[in-house]
A and B are shown apart, each in its own frame.
Chain A
Amino acid sequence: MSPSPSPIGVGILGAGRPNIATSSQIPACLRAPSVRLVCLCDRLESVHEIARSHGVRSTTDYAAMLADPEIEMVQVATPDWCHLDHTRQALAAGKHVLLQKPVCTSLADLHAIEELAAAAGPRLKILLNNRHTVLVRTLRSVLEAGLIGELRHVCIQYRGHRYPIDDPASPYLKAELGGVWVHNGLHWLDEACFYADSPPSTVQVNAARHDCGPDRLLGGGPNYWSGVFRLGPAVTFHFEYNTMLLAGGLPGGMQRTLIGTEGELRVDYGSERVRLFRTTPLDSPLLEAAEDESGLPVYWVKPVETFPSPMDAATDSFRRAIEDFAAEIRDGQERPPFLVDSCRSMECLLRSAQGTPGECLEPGVQL
């Protein structure tokens, strides 16, 4: 038996204050056998305290971290408009880069990042953990088992609070940055692509704006988007992102619907339980009968895995994404989501947010 390869040294940039890096990426690295967290970096001095609490090194000098020979993988978790510069520096230093979503905030930056990736020896990957969550893996397991036949349509709907960006200083409140559509949309577009096994080939988006509320929280752009995507020739995707609501007891969150030729999967708003509706009854170890009063073949889908807490489950989804990238670095074999597909998805979000309203777009044509 060959010995396990030594863990890949990781440095995380942008871990100086509570954010996705501190809440998810650090714990995920600490639980991932294939990586070893070496250093945290941020311009904020508070990074030292955070690093101490995890027993790793720290620095406020990005160049110093990039010069550290123990570090092979740099995870970039800085503000999105800094991604291009920080990625360029890391790749130039010969580091592999795992970049937080969204890839960037402009088409020009996206183009530049793709060119960097094409030219670089080191690898670049977008950190998209949603496809590694228990819920998404559970839905995917049903698809792979053929329990709804061939997938035809994916619908992911978000409904939530009217002020999703709670920092009045956030550039995402500027209309040209595309709001949460650009900030968060890549997660769910990638999720749909994961189900369809295809990147988006077209997108058409209508948007609306609910004006009630203080400008400093509403921002300048829309707060509702309805996007129709084609994911290859066989699957369409409706992505509705509704942030026009105030909570008031409304169950928020996501609703997911996957329609196939033999059945449908549904996860209702605010729920993590998956229901399956079928044309005909079915015995499968993945399912348990829902005993619906209608007498129709309705099932609950068993989760593929259980965790002690939602936080553990979320951390595990990051761990899986990080370990996938570590494996890529080890064997040179790219694993989904492929960089080119992540960039096509990002292009769809950027162009639909920043281009002509309502236009139907083909990603990759004008980039």
Chain B
Amino acid sequence: MTYGIGVVGVWVWGCHSLEQMLLSACGDERQARIVAVSADDAYGANNCAEPTVEAGIKYAAKFGARFEPDWRAVVHDPEVNIVSAMVCPRKKAEIILAALRAGKHVVTDKPLAFTVAEAEEILAAEQASAGTGFMLCGYHPRPLTAHLLEVIAAGRLGEIKAASVRLHFMGGIYPGFVPTKQWRSEIPSGEMTTIGSHALVTLCRLVGKPARSVYAVARNCFYDAYREAGAEDWAELNLDFGGAAGHVLVARLPYRLPREDIRIEVTGTHGYAEIADNRLTIWPGPETMDCTIDGFAFSREQFRQFYAAIETGGEPPTTFAEGLHLQRILAAGLESIRQDRPQPVG
């Protein structure tokens, strides 16, 4: 099968070039090409070195694709099967909704939308659509976490009673990135959203049920630029899962921790497991598994799974339903920060 990809948004901050992963995940069994590209300042603060439209035109030309100044032309292009919605969260809902209603498959980065209401509408649209939605988010597909989830699914840890995820982006602010008030206005929150989404989706997978309440603390610990933009560079969330407890700590650290991709602890009624220093250790045991992440291979595998989901009706690595639950946790977290008390999720 050959897929036509429509790209909405070029180099918007916080968005990866998912269309390139779609291309790289192809093989003999399927092909893909970028059909059309749309870029505009209205899609979100970006890191284009030149005017946004010119950058979009160049990007389209690089892939032999058509440039469209209006995203609607991309979404409604009959040659487009998959829409890569790489725009800021505030802009996402109208584009994703239009794409789903046009019967397209959609891939987007986390978070799914800006508000819970938008995410709910997106999920409803996906359920009514022939299209499949994939929200790239979370560390659950990574080898060690994936193996841990298999161990949990096999019942080796019993019922999960507590889980914690510590996830950091390290080494300071990304080179060239200047947090601005515009950027902050286009996302629900700072690092609670950007890093926290990965940790929260992973945590929910580990616990295996939806969060019921959340208490969140967000702070500016490290960078004046974040403070001036009104975006936190640190967030901590204490979650209640009804019979199980969860904790998430996320931050953009100024220093680097060797071999610390993600740190996880899980306690079940029959056992305990941790991921630390790129090693998964399971008790009773210990049984260990070491793994260094090949980020490219890991991402490509997720997109292969997305193609498979489209073709078989299965699930993508992270679903829009998970995106909605994430959105509810983030919204409850924001309300918790405002009121300084735990808030119900959803």
Contacts and interface: CB of A to CB of B under 8 A. Distances in A.
Given A206-B245, A208-B245, A249-B285, A228 B215 contact: yes
A175 B141 CA distance: 40
Contacts of B286: 249-250
Contact of A152 (B162, B221, B258): B221
Range for the number of chain A residues in contact with chain B: 35 or more
Contacts of B162: 208, 224, 226, 242, 244
B239 interface: yes
Contact of A236 (B217, B259, B265, B269): B217
B240 interface: yes
A230 B255 contact: no
A289 B71 CA distance: 55
B30 interface: no
Interface string B189-224: 000000000000000000000000101010101100
A292 to B, nearest CB: 5
Contacts of B221: 152-153, 259, 261
A250 B342 contact: no
A153 B219 CA distance: 11
Given A242-B267, A360-B215, A261 B254 contact: yes
Interface string B256-269: 11110000010101
Contact of B238 (A228, A294, A296): A228
Contacts of A230: 217
A89 to B, nearest CB: 41
A204 B342 contact: yes
A289 B296 CA distance: 33
**A interface, over-half SS:** strand
Most buried by A among B238, B265, B283, B286: B238
B249 interface: yes
Contacts of A152: 219, 221-222, 234
A250 B285 CA distance: 8
* Max chain A Cβ within 10 angstroms of own Cβ: one of B158, B236, B267, B286: B267
Nearest to A202: B340
B283 A250 contact: yes
Contacts of B258: 277, 292-294, 296, 298
Nearest to A211: B269
A248 to B, nearest CB: 5
Contact of B267 (A236, A244, A264): A244
A341 to B, nearest CB: 21
29 contacts: A152-B219, A152-B234, A153-B236, A153-B249, A204-B341, A209-B161, A210-B267, A212-B269, A224-B162, A226-B247, A227-B238, A228-B217, A228-B247, A240-B164, A240-B247, A244-B161, A249-B285, A250-B272, A250-B286, A259-B253, A262-B255, A263-B255, A264-B255, A278-B255, A279-B255, A294-B258, A296-B257, A357-B240, A358-B342
The 8 A-B residue pairs whose C-beta atoms are closest, nearest first, are A294-B258, A279-B255, A152-B221, A206-B245, A204-B215, A360-B341, A208-B245, A248-B284
